[in-house]
Amino acid sequence: MTDASESPAIEVQGLVKRYGDFTAVRGIDLRLDRGRCLGLLGPNGAGKTTTIEIIVGLRAATEGSVRVLGLSWPGDDREIRRRIGVQLQETRFPDRITVAETLRAFGAFYERGPAPEEIMELVGLEAKAKTRISALSGGQHQRLALGCALVNDPELLFLDEPTTGLDPQARRRVWEIVEEFKRRGVSVLLTTHYMDEAERLADDLVIIDQGTIIAEGSPAEIIGRLGQVSIVEFRAEGADDAFLAEVAELPGVVEAGRVSADVVVEVDSVAASVPAILALVEARGLDAAQLHIHRPTLEDVFVSLTGKRLRDV
Amino acid sequence: MFERGTRSLEILELTRLRLLTFVRETEAVFWVFVFPVILAVVLGFAFREGDPEPSRIGILGAAGAEAPAIAGELLEVRSLEDELEAERALRRGRVDAVVVRGATPEVRFDPRRPEGQLARERVLAALEGRTPEREAAIARLEPQTQRGSRYIDFLFAGLLGMNLMGTGIWGTGFAIADMRQKKLMKRLVVTPMRRSSMLTSFLTARFVFLVMEVVVLCAFGVWILDVPIAGSVLDFALLAVMGGITFACLGILLASRARTIEGVSGIMNFALMPMWLVSGVFFSYERYPEFLHPVIRLLPLTALVDALRDVMLDGERLLEQGPELATLGVWGLVSFFAALKIFRWQ
């Protein structure tokens, strides 16, 4: 056996997944080094979940190679499963079972790992030990899902959209727990369609759209690709392509586009462009509602790469 | 023995979850324990032994001097207006036979219905003026009404078998479909849990319920319905439990692919329907054509109900039920391993 501790946590090459005529994943390469967090970012239907399900052994790849902790499917199934922790999207635990009972049952599948009490403390559910699943809030249920992924003290953690549908406070609690695990040296593969989540948790990012990688690097690198630009956004009902073309010609403007009802303008000079844009808006009898100017975020990168917002899709 | 990560602890913990879910689910308790008892009570009343039912006779035509009177102890006579009413009354079963008065009365009945045949006999007897004394001169009549040969005694084993089939198949099938729908199965297979442990836990949990179920239903039958168990009660209970496990295996197989509760309901109804009809729950399958009997006997419900009746009514031993036990065993094992093979985990 090769020295598995030296191999990357995840190494995926040329991954393809076809369902009949439909190709969900079209040749993806991924590498997650030990102790790092890789964020898989993309809109719904981009192929993130399919990719993660192949890596955790729930689906077979059509083509390509997948190595997890230096091991591979099929063959090392049990060994891989012993050492990974997985939180899947949409798992519903049995309603009438309590938090402590659920963690205890999951713990029974592994030779070792922390006791349920320890896990509950870790995910902030110690007060809910005897609460039935049906009485948990969305955030608590999600933290239990995270807890169930930790019962074996995993080396590698898979989190598939861990905060989808949660309120901001509940999301921050989940992030804190994940950060605690990163500090302990656990490798994390995270999928999300929240840019702020990816910026906060991921060391490296891979942006996927329609089954292919469209950008990769650290969050700062990816954002840096847009250059030293600022983003001017406003809502202008009735802004048409002719209007956008005019905006693009204004001084200080790099590019102008529309994402649903919003006009999104990349500018390299705020001082030169904004007065000119507003003057044009005024002249065309439009309104610049909710005008704001900000540094580019991953969201803007995504818009610039695909012409659509992550959550729109 | 119950170290973490061992098969035995996996099965134990999964079984515990099933049991906890069940006892905390009041509706489920109702359907498994209370419903069959209610059903048995209702049927018990419906088929209580008592005086034999009279035959309902419709009379057509005016009473005249030449027409003999039609009257007897077990005849309930009413007159009918005309041909049309007579035809309708017979067709809808409001009367068992129609007698048209005349010098030679005409008796109309449906020879395929037992009630019709009985009415015909009774009308003929009344026309003949037969009395109990005259009947006694023809043959010695010995009515049999002792325990063990009543319809309710026959029915009890059938109902018990049907109930074991229902709870076994629906109970496990729904639980599996529910877990699959909640994506819990998918979550479980990314752990090192052995897949056979999951399926085994459905059987062990079922076993625990079965013991309770069989005790409750047998106690009810013996004390309330007063059905006799001619053979050993232990043999009877063991048979019931084995039957229940067989159906749980079948339930796992039937639920092994379905993605939704609705899907699994359809499949199960499809599988259960023939057995409700032909396996001899309410009446003996001897009524079906001879060539079908070997096929009917291969059905698990037939095997279970036959064996239960052999022990209960004829006082046979468990070990004398070789063919039935083999049938149940084959159904159970084949279902379980086939399910393990084709089970959809996500």
Q: pTM value?
A: 0.76
Write down the residue that tokens 């037969």 correspond to: B130
- Quote the pLDDT of residue A1: 42
Encode B54-110 in three state secondary structure: CEEEEEECCCCCCCCCCCCCCEEEEECCCHHHHHHHHHCCCCCEEEECCCCCEEEEC
Answer yes or no: do A94 and B179 touch at CB < 8 A.
yes
- Quote the pLDDT of residue A313: 41
* 3-class secondary structure, A40: strand
Span A175-195, average pLDDT: 88
Write the residue in B10, B20, B345 that is nearest to A109 by C-beta: B10
Answer yes or no: do A105 and B190 touch at CB < 8 A.
no
CA B263 to chain centre: 25
Q: How far off is chain B from A187, nearest CA to CA, in Å?
A: 17
Q: ipTM for the complex?
A: 0.79
Q: Which of A222, A226, A201, A308 is nearest to A262 (CA)?
A: A308
Span A34-45, average pLDDT: 86
- Quote the pLDDT of residue A123: 86
Q: Which H or E element spans position B306?
A: helix B300-314
* Chains A & B: contacts with CB separation below 8 Å: 79
List the end-to-end C-alpha distance of chain A, in Å, as a whole number. Answer: 44
pLDDT digits (tens, 9 = 90+) for B41-65: 776 666 665 667 788 888 887 665 4
Q: How far off is chain B from A194, nearest CA to CA, in Å?
A: 23
Q: B296 vs A296, which has greater pLDDT?
A: B296
Quick one: CA dihedral A132, A135, A139, A141, positive or negative? positive
- Quote the pLDDT of residue B119: 87
- Quote the pLDDT of residue B4: 83
Question: Which of B1, B15, B183, B190 to mutate: most A Cβ within 10 Å?
Answer: B190
Q: Which of A55, A65, A62 is nearest to A86 (CA)?
A: A55
| Spatial distance between the Cα atoms of B264 and B176, rounded to a whole number of angstroms | 9
Write down the residue that tokens 């063991």 correspond to: B238
| Spatial distance between the Cα atoms of B63 and A129, rounded to a whole number of angstroms | 85
- Quote the pLDDT of residue B68: 57
- Is residue B233 very low, low, confident or very high in pLDDT (cuts 50, 70, 90)? confident
Q: How far off is chain B from A137, nearest CA to CA, in Å?
A: 17
| Spatial distance between the Cα atoms of B161 and B243, rounded to a whole number of angstroms | 8
- Is residue B125 very low, low, confident or very high in pLDDT (cuts 50, 70, 90)? confident
Answer yes or no: do A111 and B4 touch at CB < 8 A.
yes
| Spatial distance between the Cα atoms of B231 and B80, rounded to a whole number of angstroms | 52
Write the residue in B16, B21, B192 that is nearest to A82 by C-beta: B192
- Look at A267-271, A307-311, B141-145 and tell me which has the smallest mean pLDDT: A307-311
Q: Is the pLDDT of residue B213 over 80?
A: yes
Q: Which two tokens stand for residue B323?
A: 């063919």
Pinpoint the alpha helices (H) of chain A: 48-55, 77-83, 99-107, 116-122, 138-148, 168-183, 195-201, 219-224, 241-249, 270-283, 298-306
DSSP single-letter state for residue B291? G
- Is residue A2 very low, low, confident or very high in pLDDT (cuts 50, 70, 90)? very low
- Look at A114-123, A236-245, B26-35, B248-257 and tell me which has the smallest mean pLDDT: B26-35
| Spatial distance between the Cα atoms of B202 and B215, rounded to a whole number of angstroms | 20
Q: A193 vs B335, which has greater pLDDT?
A: B335
- C-alpha angle with apex A208: A46 to A4, nearest 5 degrees? 110
Q: What is the DSSP string of A119-152?
A: HHHHTT-GGGTT-BGGG--HHHHHHHHHHHTSTT
Answer yes or no: do B9 and A86 touch at CB < 8 A.
no
Chain A residue numbers with beta carbons less than 8 Å from the beta carbon of B184 are: 91-94
pLDDT digits (tens, 9 = 90+) for B158-212: 888 988 898 888 888 888 988 888 889 999 999 999 988 999 999 999 999 888 8
Which residues of B touch chain A, with CB atoms under 8 Å apart?
3-5, 9-10, 12-14, 16-17, 20-21, 24-25, 179, 182-184, 186-193, 345-346
Q: Which of B87, B96, B10 is nearest to B55 (CA)?
A: B96
Whole-number percent of chain B with pLDDT over 90: 19
CA atoms within 13 A on the CB side of A70: 10
pLDDT digits (tens, 9 = 90+) for A51-88: 999 999 998 889 989 999 988 888 888 889 999 999 99
| Spatial distance between the Cα atoms of A104 and B47, rounded to a whole number of angstroms | 51
Q: What is the DSSP string of A270-293?
A: HHHHHHHHHHHHHHTT---EEEEE
In terms of Cβ atoms closer than 10 Å to its own Cβ (0-12, 13-18, 19+), residue B99 is buried
* 3-class secondary structure, A68: strand
A131 touches chain B (CB under 8 A): no
- Quote the pLDDT of residue A215: 85
- Look at A21-35, A169-183, B55-69 and tell me which has the smallest mean pLDDT: B55-69
A147 touches chain B (CB under 8 A): no
- Tell me what the pLDDT averaged over chain B comes to: 84
Per the CB < 8 A criterion, the answer to whether A113 and A151 are in contact is: yes
Whole-number percent of chain A with pLDDT over 90: 26
Q: Is the pLDDT of residue A142 over 60?
A: yes
Per the CB < 8 A criterion, the answer to whether B128 and B117 are in contact is: no
Q: Which two tokens stand for residue A18?
A: 């076809």
Q: B150 vs A35, which has greater pLDDT?
A: A35
In terms of Cβ atoms closer than 10 Å to its own Cβ (0-12, 13-18, 19+), residue B53 is exposed
Phi/psi for A93 (5° steps) reads -75, 160
| Spatial distance between the Cα atoms of B78 and B104, rounded to a whole number of angstroms | 19
* 3-class secondary structure, A186: coil
Answer yes or no: do A104 and B13 touch at CB < 8 A.
yes
Span A86-114, average pLDDT: 91
Write down the residue that tokens 């809109």 correspond to: A43
Which amino acid, one-letter code, is at A131? Answer: T
| Spatial distance between the Cα atoms of B59 and A259, rounded to a whole number of angstroms | 87
- Quote the pLDDT of residue B65: 47
Q: Is the pLDDT of residue A25 over 80?
A: yes
Answer yes or no: do A88 and B186 touch at CB < 8 A.
yes
Encode B3-55 in three state secondary structure: CCCCHHHHHHHHHHHHHHHHHCCHHHHHHHHHHHHHHHHHHHHHCCCCCCCCE
- Quote the pLDDT of residue A292: 86
Q: Is the pLDDT of residue B272 over 50?
A: yes
A153 touches chain B (CB under 8 A): no
Write down the residue that tokens 């239960």 correspond to: B308
